[in-house]
């Protein structure tokens, strides 16, 4: 459905203006909530079983495709970013329409940094909370933002030695749960997650200790740029950079294979 310039574009005409337009044509909002909960739970189950094949990993389009996959049975605007601004009272916590994609791109930059998969569980949880704060601020969809954000984050976490159990992820509350996002002078966005949000993620994390040690060992064996530059071989620095790119892509491809996806290979 092509959304117009107001929230009424997403709802039925009175007296059903509190119900989102939906594929089954339900007018009772309570019935719609039940249907949504049931159908999305089935999609999540299939997603965790490896049913979904997304064309991109950790990018903006994969977020759209994830929402489309989860809500395709309920809403005609599944997979579409909202085109309507939120109310004035929410604009300090939710991005304007024009900033949705840039904020999501910022989240994906963090998600695609292989170095964070070498962190211990506490630091990993904090980085995950940063990504989640950006996704919450973007609030890209009319409905389903919480579920989509959690499933995206769980998918991203799975590229390393971590598993994020979204079923065990309780929504934090109180002042320590509040996250914020600021726009920097260079146009990027910086997340300031609430400590309680990071704690909830930490509690839902499990780690493959052997895989984490292997990833750290692989990183530590690679010589640093500073050492290479010190030996006086200018070409060594580029060799190091190329080697790290190959190693990081190898890690992604290994995980894609584990998940039943087709590895993208070098040059992705």
pLDDT in tens, 62-114: 899 999 999 999 999 999 999 999 877 677 789 999 999 999 999 999 988 87
**26/19 Cα distance (integer angstroms):** 8
For tokens 């929230």, name the residue: 7
- For residue 109, CA distances in Å to 56, 116, 131, 171, 180 come to 14, 11, 9, 25, 18
pLDDT in tens, 107-134: 999 988 877 778 888 888 999 999 999 9
**124/147 Cα distance (integer angstroms):** 20
For the chain, the average pLDDT equals 81
Domain boundary assignment for the chain: 7-221, 222-268
Beta bridge partners of 181: 191
pLDDT at residue 252, rounded to an integer: 57
Helices of type H across the chain: 29-48, 60-71, 100-111, 121-138, 145-157, 195-203, 209-221, 225-230, 234-258
CATH number at 7-221: 1.10.3290.10
Which residues of the chain have a pLDDT value below 50? 1-4, 223, 263-268
In Å, the largest CA–CA distance within the chain is 76
**250/114 Cα distance (integer angstroms):** 11
């Amino acid at each position: 459905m092509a959304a117009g310039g107001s929230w009424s574009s997403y709802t039925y005409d009175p007296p059903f203006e509190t119900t989102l337009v939906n594929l089954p044509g339900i007018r009772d909002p309570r019935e719609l909530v039940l249907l949504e909960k049931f159908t999305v739970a089935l999609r999540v189950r299939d997603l965790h079983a490896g049913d979904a094949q997304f064309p991109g990993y950790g990018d903006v389009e994969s977020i759209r495709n994830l929402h489309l996959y989860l809500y395709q049975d309920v809403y005609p605007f599944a997979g579409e970013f909202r085109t309507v601004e939120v109310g004035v009272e929410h604009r300090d916590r939710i991005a304007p329409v024009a900033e949705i994609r840039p904020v999501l791109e910022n989240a994906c930059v963090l998600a695609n940094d292989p170095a964070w998969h070498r962190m211990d569980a506490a630091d990993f949880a904090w980085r995950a909370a940063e990504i989640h704060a950006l996704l919450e601020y973007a609030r890209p969809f009319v409905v389903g933002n919480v579920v989509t954000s959690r499933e995206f984050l769980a998918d991203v976490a799975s590229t390393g030695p971590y598993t994020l159990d979204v079923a065990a992820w309780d929504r934090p509350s109180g002042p320590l749960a509040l996250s914020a996002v600021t726009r920097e002078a260079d146009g990027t966005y910086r997340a300031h997650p609430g400590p309680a949000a990071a704690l909830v993620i930490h509690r839902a994390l499990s780690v493959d200790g052997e895989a984490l040690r292997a990833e750290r060992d692989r990183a530590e064996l690679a010589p640093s740029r500073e050492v290479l530059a010190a030996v006086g071989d200018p070409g060594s620095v580029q060799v190091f950079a190329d080697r790290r790119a190959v190693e990081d892509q190898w890690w992604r491809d290994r995980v894609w294979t584990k998940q039943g996806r087709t590895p993208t290979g070098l040059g992705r």
